[in-house]
Structure 1
Amino acid sequence: MPVDSDAVVREILESRVKTIAVVGCSSTPGNAAHDVPKYLFEQGYDVIPVNPYADEIFGRPVADSLSDVDETIDLVCIFRPSEEVSGIVDEVLARDDVDVIWTQRGIRDDEAAARAERDGRDVVQDRCMRVEHRRLAV
Structure 2
Amino acid sequence: MPVETDADVRRILEYKTVAVVGCSSTPGKDAHEIPKYLQAQGYKIIPVNPTTDEVIGQPAYDSLSDVAEDVDIVDVFRPSPEVAGIVDEVLARDDVEVIWLQLGIHDDDAVSRAEEAGIRVVQDRCMKPEHQRLVAST
| Normalised-by-shorter TM-score class | over 0.9
Give the distance between the partners of 1:80 and 1:74, measured in 2 at CA: 18
Q: State the match for 2:103 in structure 1.
A: 105
Give the distance between the partners of 1:19 and 1:4, measured in 2 at CA: 22
Deviation at 1:41, TM superposition (A): 0.4
Letter in 2 for 1:89: V
Determine if the alignment matches structure 1 residue 26 to structure 2 residue 27. Answer: no
Q: State the match for 1:75 in structure 2.
A: 73
Deviation at 1:96, TM superposition (A): 0.1
Deviation at 1:4, TM superposition (A): 2.2
Q: 1:101 aligns to what SS in structure 2?
A: strand
Q: State the match for 1:10 in structure 2.
A: 10
TM-score of the aligned structures, taking structure 1 as reference length: 0.96
- Could you list the per-position Cα deviations for residues 83-107 of structure 1 after superposition, in whole angstroms to 9, with x for gaps in the alignment? 1000000000000000000000000
Give the distance between the partners of 2:125 and 2:39, measured in 1 at CA: 18
Letter in 2 for 1:53: T
Which consecutive aligned stretches of 4+ in structure 1 deviate over 6 angstroms post-superposition?
Answer: none
For residues 37-56 of structure 1, the aligned pairs below 5 Å read 37-56=35-54
Give the distance between the partners of 2:112 and 2:27, measured in 1 at CA: 33
Contact map agreement 1:23 1:51 (CA 8 A) in 2 = yes
Letter in 2 for 1:57: V
Give the distance between the partners of 2:77 and 2:83, measured in 1 at CA: 9
Give % identity: 67
Unaligned residue ranges in structure 1 (runs of 5+): none
User: Paired residues, what number?
Assistant: 136
Give the distance between the partners of 1:113 and 1:104, measured in 2 at CA: 13
TM-score of the aligned structures, taking structure 2 as reference length: 0.96
Letter in 1 for 2:71: I
Unaligned residue ranges in structure 2 (runs of 5+): none
